[in-house]
Copies of this chain bind each other. A is one copy, B any other.
């Protein structure tokens, strides 16, 4: 058996001659979700064994900026002068997908302040300050940023805007600090971690209940019994090319897929082999990292027909989502000399520059006045401080009139888009993995990107939802499995 075979048919318990290890709770994958499941399960008195393929814990959480999408009135929100409530947060999140998981959204919003405080108690520091600037990567230690579409149309019509992207206090990435605190707490609670241990398959009793896993540790097979249950917290499928092609053909191969090397879908596939079902496998977060400089937000995005298609001031993930939907993936960002600046985060190329919009249009091959019309309409309204067509906020409106004019190449397959999938196992808020019929698979739980979580659409993604969701529902899964009856 090798890592590639991780989704092999579940083994039957009777084929296990001897269990090499056992624990009440076996957690597959030691990132943010796994750590939180471990803390809660161990604190509830369960013996906990974490199995991690890498040489240490951390997963994607420790690679990230560490933003957690939290709200409903956190200490940082209050200190920075923003009002929020669980209901307001709920109203926002319910707009973020065509198929929101209402039960998860509800419990997540109602307990967001509690989750914030829980993290603080673990020693995760948050500064009572806000970075108001429109950024994609936060390089300050401020406690909160605007990390979604809260202020952008049409979201602002459904809920009062509040910033919710909470970052652990660190100058650079906050993920390492966040994970370090989770790791300390997991250790303190008595959870044991075994590294370089790749879980290959689940072990099932005759009645289908998950009772353990078969892993590979230092070249040896390891049969691990899970008395109360197994929690799959092994990330998503960002690095599984076949799955990307089969579930998100529109962008597969045309974007950089981001994740950690073990995001190969193993947890999802193992869960499915035990009768779990996966949902929303075609949904993704996609970003066009074109700002800073935020001045580019004053430009307009147009497709191959020269038409605008989105309010350019929305969250970069929503922008990426709409870009990916344009015919042929053709998109240009049009800016004038007054507002053009090279994107700071990644290398972009100019498609064309010209001394007039008419020349730019021709150079881009945009038909017959279409770009000129879009610019003319935009400029006319911008001067009046409004955007009746796409509802960009006044702050970001400025006429495009100072030559030369630039068209930043934002074409799918050309520009440096980054993406990761949002689909995964269907679970209850408790982490119970569900079959296609909506029945829990006995003994099997999951959290983090092995599951389909709160964020489940490119148009509605907000930074910090993945880690907040992973850590919060990781906790719920840990509590639930610790209280399950032993097999």
A→B interface (CB under 8 Å): 4-5, 7, 9, 12, 97-99, 206, 208, 242-243, 245-247, 249-250, 252, 265, 269, 272-273, 275, 277, 279-283, 305, 307-310, 325, 327, 367-370, 373, 377, 381, 388-390, 426, 435-438, 456-457
12 interchain pairs (CB within 8 A)?
Answer: A5-B437, A98-B250, A243-B436, A247-B280, A247-B281, A272-B277, A282-B282, A307-B307, A309-B327, A325-B325, A367-B388, A368-B389
A255 to B388, CA, bound (A): 29
A457 to B249, CA, bound (A): 10
* Contact with A282, one of B7, B281, B370, B377 (Cβ below 8 angstroms): B281
**Neighbouring B residues of A305 by C-beta, 8 Å:** 307-308, 389-390
* Contact with A242, one of B206, B281, B436 (Cβ below 8 angstroms): B436
Query: Quick one: given A9-B275, A275-B9, are A98 and B282 in contact (CB under 8 Å)?
Result: no
Query: Does A249 contact B280, Cβ atoms closer than 8 Å?
Result: yes
Closest B residue by C-beta to A246: B279
A143 → chain B, closest Cβ, in Å? Answer: 33
Interface SS of A by simple majority = loop
A310 to B282, CA, bound (A): 23
A360 to B341, CA, bound (A): 40
Query: Does B98 contact A7, Cβ atoms closer than 8 Å?
Result: no
Query: Does A436 contact B265, Cβ atoms closer than 8 Å?
Result: yes
A350 to B318, CA, bound (A): 32
A7 → chain B, closest Cβ, in Å? Answer: 5
Q: How many copies does the complex hold?
A: 2
Query: Does A242 contact B388, Cβ atoms closer than 8 Å?
Result: no
Query: Does B99 contact A249, Cβ atoms closer than 8 Å?
Result: yes
**Neighbouring B residues of A280 by C-beta, 8 Å:** 246-247, 249, 282
**Neighbouring B residues of A265 by C-beta, 8 Å:** 436
A211 to B369, CA, bound (A): 65
A438 to B373, CA, bound (A): 50
* Contact with A381, one of B4, B281, B283, B368 (Cβ below 8 angstroms): B368
A309 to B325, CA, bound (A): 11
**Neighbouring B residues of A369 by C-beta, 8 Å:** 377
**Neighbouring B residues of A272 by C-beta, 8 Å:** 272, 277, 436
Closest B residue by C-beta to A387: B367
Closest B residue by C-beta to A438: B242
Closest 4 CB pairs of A and B: A282-B282, A99-B249, A98-B249, A246-B279
**Neighbouring B residues of A438 by C-beta, 8 Å:** 242
A254 → chain B, closest Cβ, in Å? Answer: 9
A213 to B352, CA, bound (A): 62
